[in-house]
Amino acid sequence: MRSLSAYATTFTAAAAIGIAIVSPASASPAPSSGAGRAPAGGDDCVVHVADNARVNCFDTFTKAIADATGGRIVDAPRDGRSALADSGLGRRLDALPEAGPGIVIGIEYDNAEYDGQYRIYSSGSGCDNDDDVEWKVDSLGSFNDMITSFRNYADCQANHFEHIDFGGASTGWLDSTSNIGEAMNDQSSSIQWR
């Protein structure tokens, strides 16, 4: 599991004001500016899981991926749909170093077949091949109950939960999937990666 210093604000305070919580699996819950909310800047948003859930939004997918990868990929397609047609982009995301800022661990989509609105989740490292949770998102904020498909990168698998704080039904550990299934479609409220 990844180790980060404890965060100053507690989960209780964050929950009281209704913001999303994102943290590496071994750290204390971390408040965010809204892991699901799209702050000013555009609809192409990146949630920096390892950086106290800092959310940056942009007006193009190109800019969002550049931010998510710490500037290592600056020539991704302009929009998310075109990015799906770029078979090399996934290989490039998976080829990033195992650790360091800007490792994309997943992209979550609100429609089947990796389409529609999305959130890019970036961390300080990918996942290893053990059963320990590496990264987690305790609450998806306004992206709550929207996920229908997702792609994982950096050797990660994801487990989507029906409720915040990993409660309720879950998908179990999955690789990328073009349709999360009827039982969990538009039901995800928290996610873990391993």
Tens-place pLDDT, residues 160-180 = 999 999 999 999 999 999 999
- Where exactly are the structural domains of the chain? 11-193
Does 17 have pLDDT greater than 80? no
Does 3 have pLDDT greater than 60? no
pLDDT digits (tens, 9 = 90+) for 76-121: 999 888 887 788 999 999 999 877 789 999 999 999 999 999 999 9
Arithmetic mean of pLDDT over the chain: 81
Name residue 115's beta-bridge partners.
111
**Residue-wise burial string across 15-53, b where 16 or more C-beta atoms lie within 10 A, e elsewhere:** beeebbbbbbbebebbbbebbbbbeeeeebbbbbbbbbb
What pLDDT was estimated at residue 83? Answer: 85
Percent of the chain residues topping a pLDDT of 90:
62
The CATH number of domain 11-193, selected from 2.60.20.10, 1.20.1530.20, 2.30.30.100, 3.30.70.1450: 2.60.20.10
Q: Cβ of 159: how many Cβ atoms within 10 Å?
A: 18
What average pLDDT does the segment 124-129 reach?
Answer: 90
Length of the chain: 194
- Rounded alpha-carbon distances, angstroms, from residue 133 to 27, 79, 136, 193: 11, 31, 7, 6
CA angle 104, 10, 142 (to 5 degrees): 50
What average pLDDT does the segment 125-135 reach?
Answer: 92
What pLDDT was estimated at residue 32? Answer: 37
Question: pLDDT-based confidence at 2, cuts 50/70/90?
Answer: very low
Range of weakest confidence among 31-40, 109-118, 124-133, 134-143: 31-40
What pLDDT was estimated at residue 61? Answer: 96
